[in-house]
Amino acid sequence: MKLAILAAHNEAARIAQEVLAARYGAASPDKADVVVALGGDGFMLETLHRFLRRGVPVYGMNRGSVGFLMNDYREEDLPERIAAAQEATLHPLRMMAFCNGGPPVEALAINEVSLLRESRQAAKIRILVDGKQRLAELICDGILISTPAGSTAYNLSAHGPIVPLGANLLPLTPISAFRPRRWRGALLPSEAEVVFEILERDKRPTAAVADYTEVRDVSRVEVREARDVSLTLLFDPDHGLSERIIAEQFTV
């Protein structure tokens, strides 16, 4: 098994990289069978984006802070742990962001696509699902649509629901909604296409963000699940991603 061992830019990750490379060898990322990512959840997202098109499995070990997407760090028996690991297959969201006078910007999001106000003025957004208007006007700081894997991240902080893997649902969650004040969002089928139209765009500029890609002053944003793109994460059998997502719902 050829392992590529990558590390985040912190001392703990760099030391772990040196130790593991000396013990197990380190292949080029372009020729590796598995990528080992050492860091936190942010570094895991960077690694997944880096190898998005190659489809190589990624096994993470926590050398960062939260580590929700990571396994526990241990130096011993790394090839055996990887061989026994459970696979979790993820599909990102595909965002198409439109601005007046320019070509659309396409980007993939492993966690979420969010729309955020750019100024002191609240954003004003119309929401359509599969071509049908569902909300004529949402006045808010923003709104996001999340993958199940990303539902425990920004979505949860915005009081959105946690969605188990395999539920085939995408949470749509407002951020500080002013009108309608009591709207708490929706759970949409994973095959749905969601369109956000920015109202009063000149007065209320709004940005669209897909993980690391930000597009300013958007007029329209289309989002749907990218079923043609698959990501494979590897987890120790006693600590799989599905179990973590379920357990997170009982964390107080």
Q: Which residues are catalytic?
A: 41
Buried b (16+ CB within 10 A) or exposed e, 161-178: bbbbbeeebbbbbbbebe
Would the annotation count 27 as a binding residue?
A: no
Is 112 annotated to bind a ligand? Reply is yes
The verdict on whether residue 248 carries a ligand-binding annotation is no
Question: 100 among the known binding-site residues?
Answer: no
Place of tokens 């965002």: 95
Q: Is 186 among the annotated ligand-binding positions?
A: no
Cα-trace Rg, the chain: 19
Residue 124's φ and ψ, nearest 5 degrees, are -130, 115
Asked if residue 111 belongs to a known ligand binding site, the reply is yes
CB 187 within 8 A of CB 169: yes
CA–CA distance, 89 with 252 (Å, rounded to integer) = 28
Whether the CB-CB separation of 33 and 55 falls below 8 Å is answered with: no
Q: Per the annotation, does 234 bind a ligand?
A: no
**Does the annotation flag 190 for ligand binding?**
no
- On whether the CB atoms of residues 226 and 91 are closer than 8 A, the answer is yes
> Does the annotation flag 152 for ligand binding?
yes
- Residue positions forming the annotated binding site: 41-42, 111-112, 141, 149, 152-157
- Residue positions forming the annotated binding site for NAD(+): 41-42, 111-112, 141, 149, 152-157
